[in-house]
């Protein structure tokens, strides 16, 4: 199968790679789609200032023979005590205390990641600006499955050595669409996780995004990843992320981020329906978001509905998740 336009989709993957292992699974299927020549991964952005996120992303990239991919790191000198990531830190502690294992620390230990030197690391916003400046106009798809901190900062950035354009104008010129996973269900909802963890940045990014915006809200309809322990080797870091997060006898995990990557590359295919004619608005009240009628729809805002066979979709996702690196079909 190929992407809807039969052309490799240039992608920047923006993730927290920290609180849930579906970020890792989503990066795995993005690599699988790149092996199938449906996607071209330009770089990975880690949108929380955590060394472990960068190390895990690099280890997954390396497993798929793309260890030289640039990784952007959202640095924040006051992460431990500052107000910007206070809610994120609190949620991180809730995850650790919930009984589920906090997988990043265990993955770092298992693969001795503290001992490795990671090549080609950048600050997040300069990497975004560099990658976009080198891309063809209206070509890049950004997949954002974590916080929108780096994207908010990108839109507010000014001219630099990579481009004379402001961040807003650079995105308008180079980005085809932003596909983001968040709790923005129609007609209104309260975001609890991704966007909520840096609400001011999310409001900047989504209320002012200058190109097409697609919101993906599904992921609890089925589980994926059950076959990782039996169909992939012990050295597969994605397998270990799932095992450390869920336990060795797990039945899989929810597929929020995996479905987001699938749609971003293959479009609606047999499993999604796009709904337009409305505009997403993030309210000043943290977490509150809603859709308002917008017949002009310029730039277009869309949300996705799931259609088709859940069983077939689950199998397609699982096949991508366990696909051998470099395998063409």
Domain definitions of the chain by residue range: 9-321
pLDDT at residue number 329? 72
Q: Is residue 123 within 8 Å of 150, Cβ to Cβ? A: no
Q: Which CATH class name applies to 9-321?
A: alpha beta
Q: Is residue 204 within 8 Å of 178, Cβ to Cβ? A: no
CB-based burial of residue 292 (10 Å sphere; 0-12 exposed, 13-18 middle, 19+ buried)? exposed
CA 34 to CA 39: how far, in whole Å?
A: 4
The pLDDT tens digits along the chain (329 residues) read 444 446 899 999 999 999 999 999 999 999 999 999 999 999 999 999 999 999 999 999 999 999 999 999 998 778 888 999 999 999 898 888 876 678 999 999 999 999 998 999 999 999 999 999 999 999 999 999 999 999 999 999 999 999 999 999 999 999 999 999 999 999 999 998 999 999 999 999 999 999 999 999 999 999 999 999 999 999 999 999 999 999 989 999 999 999 999 999 999 999 999 999 999 999 999 999 999 999 898 999 999 999 999 999 999 999 999 999 999 87
pLDDT at residue number 328? 85
């Amino acid at each position: 199968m190929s992407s809807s336009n039969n052309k490799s989709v240039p992608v920047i993957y923006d993730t927290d790679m920290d609180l849930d292992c579906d970020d890792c699974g989503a990066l795995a299927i993005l690599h699988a789609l790149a092996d199938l020549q449906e996607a071209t991964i330009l770089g990975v952005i880690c949108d929380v200032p955590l060394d472990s996120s960068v190390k895990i992303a690099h280890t997954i990239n390396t497993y798929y023979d793309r260890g030289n991919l640039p990784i952007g790191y959202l640095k924040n000198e006051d992460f431990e005590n500052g107000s910007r990531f206070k809610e994120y830190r609190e949620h991180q502690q809730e995850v650790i205390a919930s009984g589920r294992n906090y997988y990043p620390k265990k993955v770092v230990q298992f693969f001795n990641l503290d001992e490795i030197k990671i090549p080609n690391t950048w600050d997040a916003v300069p990497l975004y600006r560099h990658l976009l400046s080198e891309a063809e106009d209206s070509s890049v798809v950004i997949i954002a499955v974590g916080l929108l901190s780096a994207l908010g900062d990108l839109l507010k950035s000014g001219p630099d050595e990579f481009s004379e354009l402001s961040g807003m104008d650079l995105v308008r010129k180079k980005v085809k669409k932003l596909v983001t996973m968040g709790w923005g269900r129609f007609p209104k909802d309260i975001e609890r996780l991704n966007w909520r963890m840096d609400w001011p940045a999310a409001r900047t990014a989504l209320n002012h995004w200058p190109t097409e915006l697609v919101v993906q809200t599904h992921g609890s309809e089925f589980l994926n990843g059950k076959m990782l322990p039996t169909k992939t080797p012990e050295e597969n870091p994605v397998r270990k992320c799932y095992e450390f997060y869920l336990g060795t006898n797990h039945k899989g995990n929810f597929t929020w981020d995996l479905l987001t990557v699938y749609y971003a590359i293959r479009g609606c295919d047999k499993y999604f329906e796009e709904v337009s004619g409305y505009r997403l608005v993030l309210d000043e009240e943290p977490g509150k978001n809603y859709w308002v009628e917008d017949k002009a729809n310029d730039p277009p805002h869309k949300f996705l509905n799931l259609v088709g066979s859940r069983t077939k979709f689950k199998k397609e996702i699982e096949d991508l998740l366990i696909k051998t690196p470099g395998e063409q079909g």
